[in-house]
Structure 1
Amino acid sequence: MPLQTAPGVPAFDLTGRLALVTGSGRGIGHAIARGYALSGARVVLNGRDPERLKAAAAALREELAPGRPPGDVQVHAFDVADPAQVEQACEAVVAAHGCPDILVNNAGVQIRGPLTELPVDDWKRVVDVNLTSGFLVGRAFARHMLPRGSGKIINVCSVQNHLVRATTAPYAAAKSGLGGLTRAMCAEWASAGIQVNGLAPGYIDTDLNASLVADPDFSRWITRRTPAARWGRVEDVVGPAIWLASPASDFVNGQVIYVDGGMTAVI
């Protein structure tokens, strides 16, 4: 018998739930959306590139079990850092599919450089995409979740909530802020039945980190610095994301869960 949180309620089953994952055309976001879909959820993929989203959605539809309607995978392209686009997209998603049961604020960007030489526009771009978007998208959909009295919001943070490396100041500041925003959302919305938690991946082999993965010296440092002795894979994040989206985590709130191969546990 599957683990249940209450009689007749499978702990990790997402069947029939609606999930919106921002930045899900590729990388961690796509892996999470795929994991949700394979666990029974209907998913809405988001990004700024409509063609990439269409291709990602088509591939996911082909992978789903026969009999799943094509409408179980939808796409909505919008810029998560643009307040007007976020509000318009939120209303369009709710009108077309209903209020999401699960929202994953995953969209992110990285611009590296020494603080003394970093253009202000680059700082603002990183903070807008990695932090402000969580505020914009989170509050837009929370306005629909709150009257309903339920919802799961997962903010994808980073190991750099806790550890910082030279040349990544805007990213580290934004992701640390997203951890704080996660706790603030919990403080305001937990009593209405909404769980807000963060997932903090370590160093994951994605397009965002392609230049680092390709650097043999840096890769050697990662494998030595990480107790698991390897780069993370996008699949490593999926299980925790399913747990935080499922009834199994109904009493978990305001937490940031590190998925980092032990990096933050050791000196």
Structure 2
Amino acid sequence: MLLDGRNAIIYGGGGSIGGAIARAYAAQGARVFLAGRTRATLAAVAGPIGAEIAEVDALDADAVDAHADAVAATAGGIDISVNLIADHDVQGTAMVDMPLDDYLSPVVTSVRSKFLTARAAARHMMPRGSGVILTFGGSGDPTAARRYRLGGLLTGFEAIEAMRRQLAAELGPHGIRVVTLRTGGVPEAIPVAFAGRAAIEADLTARTLLGRTATLEDVGHVAVFAASDWARTITGAALNMTCGAVVD
């Protein structure tokens, strides 16, 4: 199995994307640690795959560090760290009409949480000379921002891409890889009860070259590849699984 013997922390592991990655990691032999603020959603994902859970606020530096220390002590180290917490974005309002705090919310949330979780993992990975840190999102499509009025979400994505490049440069000499998973949108992750779900799915699909979007299963498979030795030559890069919605 590709991740046999690896220890993986997934922040936001109770969500749809986090759950998909958790299931894929467990299926490939990883020991999975799910972290998040809501125990019930974490437990729902953890139960079928035997993952371990902890209530952790990924915006709290002390909590993140303490949890990473506990995982490393319990499991013998941290091999994979994935941050998938909600970005706290506010959408649907034009930028010229948006309050500053609403615009900055996803930027501050994303940068703070991903800095804290990457730093905590890297501190344990560096002495071992290996590790993988995964982010999620990638550069956004500005035309989508025009259609959906995404507020500061894309600014937050771009900030994390800058962080990913810098982390890859600083951590590469220690054998640590940093990679972004980029999907272009996963309709399965949109709540079924959301009124605009069908229209968004149709739009996302229409913008692809393959006539389909990535599924949750696809995300899990690519996340396994990215964290495995099969991807050991890849760092400082975004893995494009947009089905051609974004052409590199």
TM-score of the superposed pair, with normalisation by structure 1 = 0.83
Supply the AA of the counterpart residue of 1:139: R
* SS of residue matched to 1:160: coil
Are residue 16 (structure 1) and residue 10 (structure 2) matched?
A: no
Q: What is the aligned partner in structure 2 of residue 245 from structure 1?
A: 227
* SS of residue matched to 1:243: helix
Q: What is the aligned partner in structure 2 of residue 129 from structure 1?
A: 109
Are residue 222 (structure 1) and residue 204 (structure 2) matched?
A: yes
Structure 2 vs 1, CA of residues 81 and 123 (structure 1 numbering), >3 Å: closer, same or farther?
A: farther
* Number of aligned residues: 244
Supply the AA of the counterpart residue of 1:94: A
| Counterpart Cα distance in 1 of 2:245 and 2:163 | 23
What RMSD in Å do the two structures reach over aligned CA positions?
2.2
Q: What is the aligned partner in structure 2 of residue 92 from structure 1?
A: 70
**Identity, % of aligned pairs?**
30
Does structure 1 conserve the Cα–Cα contact (< 8 Å) formed by 2:187 and 2:201?
no
Are residue 74 (structure 1) and residue 44 (structure 2) matched?
A: no
Return the offset for 1:213: 7.6
| Counterpart Cα distance in 2 of 1:148 and 1:27 | 31
Q: Give ranges in structure 1 of 5+ residues lacking alignment.
A: 1-11, 62-72
Structure 2 vs 1, CA of residues 184 and 208 (structure 1 numbering), >3 Å: closer, same or farther?
A: farther
Q: What is the aligned partner in structure 1 of residue 18 from structure 2?
A: 29
* SS of residue matched to 2:140: helix
Does structure 1 conserve the Cα–Cα contact (< 8 Å) formed by 2:187 and 2:200?
no
Q: Give ranges in structure 2 of 5+ residues lacking alignment.
A: none
Structure 2 vs 1, CA of residues 119 and 84 (structure 1 numbering), >3 Å: closer, same or farther?
A: farther
Structure 2 vs 1, CA of residues 133 and 210 (structure 1 numbering), >3 Å: closer, same or farther?
A: farther
Residues 86-165 of structure 1 mapped to structure 2, 5 A cutoff = 86-109=64-87, 110-112=89-91, 113-158=93-138, 160=140, 164-165=144-145
CA deviation map 1:127-186 (0-9, x unaligned): 233232111110111111111111111111245177652311311011111111111011
Structure 2 vs 1, CA of residues 104 and 215 (structure 1 numbering), >3 Å: closer, same or farther?
A: closer
Does structure 2 conserve the Cα–Cα contact (< 8 Å) formed by 1:13 and 1:40?
yes
| Counterpart Cα distance in 1 of 2:204 and 2:61 | 37
* SS of residue matched to 2:14: coil
* SS of residue matched to 1:20: strand
Task: Judge which range, 75-84 or 193-202, deviates more.
Answer: 75-84
Return the offset for 1:125: 2.9
| Counterpart Cα distance in 2 of 1:158 and 1:213 | 26
Structure 2 vs 1, CA of residues 163 and 175 (structure 1 numbering), >3 Å: closer, same or farther?
A: farther
* SS of residue matched to 1:265: coil
